[in-house]
Amino acid sequence: MTTHTPGRISGADARPKSARRAHLALADGAVFEGFAWGAEGTAVGEVVFTTGMTGYQEILTDPSYTGQLVTMTAPQIGNTGVNLDDAESSDAAPQVSGFILRDPSLVASNYRAENSLAEYLTRHGVVAIGGVDTRRLTRHLRDHGSQNGCIGSEAPSVLVDQARAAPSMQGLDLVSRVTPKASYRFEQGRSWPVPFQFDDLYRPTEAGRSSAARPPEFHVVAYDYGAKKNIFRCLVDAGMRLTVVPAGTTAAEALALSPDGIFLSNGPGDPAALPHAIAAVRELLGKKPLFGICLGHQLLAHALGGATSKMKFGHRGLNHPVRDLATGRVEITSQNHGFVVDTSTLKGDARATHVHLNDGTNEGLEAPGASAFSVQYHPESAAGPHDSLYLFDRFVSAMRAAR
């Protein structure tokens, strides 16, 4: 068991005077020292890292991070505080199992801030650790892979044992924790009243006018496997009326709602652990145009006879380059996934459409005969900032052609 102690942080010690010493222990025996932050207690989960320089609140509230201890590689986190508008989960609550930081800000300074990060984490019971050498931790995860870990103030050996006892992410169904219990309507577009946003600039169209002005033209059944709200907002802006349904909704139940199209959302965990969802998608193929994002992309691959596998440390961040194989165009994308589609296992007329330029992994696929397509990345996150919004228009075109 090796222990790494933190050095000075931004020229000063960011440890609050009342903070207790804490540790992050990994299942392979590596231990990283820091100080307790957020809620008291112990947190166990898969330790992953995200390279995003901004967006810590969106990361905290993304249901795809359920069951994970998220490491921010950007050093100072929390200086703009927390507000309700930027949350991605339906209840605006954090979804991560724990949070790992280098330099948590003691001051929240932004006119939109409603709480400090420390207050927000404490109120929602999220255990965090500050003062960690996140650069060393990230290198360790890149070399040895994402793995289970434990944050707490107990003896490091106790924390290592708890990390080793935690279930593996591979084979784990986490969707059941985050999917809604009942269907609901979603009608909020991206032009919801936030004073700093200008939707004409955020989503320009060929007409030079915001797509938020489009009246609803299509009815879409959206499977919520742990969806981010901003995805649904983009669908609404593109002219869709959404009926959001739980992950366990059968194909027959979805088709009984008379949709023009089917959407498959992002979500946490291993797609191979969701046989009921795969069966529903397989039955829906060819019945209605279908569009999937992230976990929805992986479920579509399984429904098409393909397979997925666990990545060494996944893709999580805001600047991932992806090439559209049809056009050669490169998109700057936002990503958050630990599993990947093996395109060699796809059957029928399914084919790859996008590829990650850093490692050559699959980032998109389509099955033209079934009017289905999907991407691994998050086109709603505005990393480009609007490089990938054409995908929502592509879904509209597919539904229009199917009429």
Average pLDDT, the chain: 90
pLDDT higher than threshold 70 for residue 212: no
The model's pLDDT over 332-370, given as tens digits with 9 standing for 90+, comes to 999 999 999 999 999 888 999 999 999 999 999 999 999
Beta strands in 167-217 (DSSP E): 184-186
DSSP secondary structure string, 69-131? EEEE-SSEE-TT-B-STT--STTS---BSEEE-SEE-S----TT-SB-HHHHHHHTT-EEEES
pTM, 2 dp: 0.91
What are the backbone angles phi and psi of residue 49, rounded to the nearest 5°? -130, 150
175-402 placed in CATH 3.40.50.880? yes
Task: Report pLDDT digits (tens) over 193-211.
Answer: 444 443 443 444 433 334 4
Q: What pLDDT is attached to residue 318?
A: 92
Q: Determine the length of the chain.
A: 403
CATH class assigned to 2-165: alpha beta
The pLDDT tens digits for 213-267 are: 467 899 999 999 999 999 999 999 999 999 999 999 999 999 999 999 999 999 9
Q: Would the pLDDT of 2 be above 60?
A: no
* Sequence spans of domains, the chain: 2-165, 175-402
Question: Among this protein's residues, is 217 annotated catalytic?
Answer: no
Residue 7 pLDDT exceeds 60: no
Q: How far is Cα 94 from Cα 63, in angstroms, rounded to an integer? A: 8
For residue 57, what is the enclosing H or E element?
A: helix 56-60
**Residue 60 contacts residue 95 (beta carbons within 8 Å):** yes
234 noted as active-site residue: no
Single out the catalytic residue among 234, 294, 337, 363: 294
Per the annotation, the verdict on 33 as an active-site residue is no
**pLDDT at residue 399, rounded to an integer:** 98
CB 176 within 8 A of CB 223: no
CATH topology of 2-165 equal to that of 175-402?
no
User: How far is it, in rounded angstroms, from Cα 264 to Cα 302?
Assistant: 13
pLDDT band at 384 (very low <50, low <70, confident <90, very high): confident
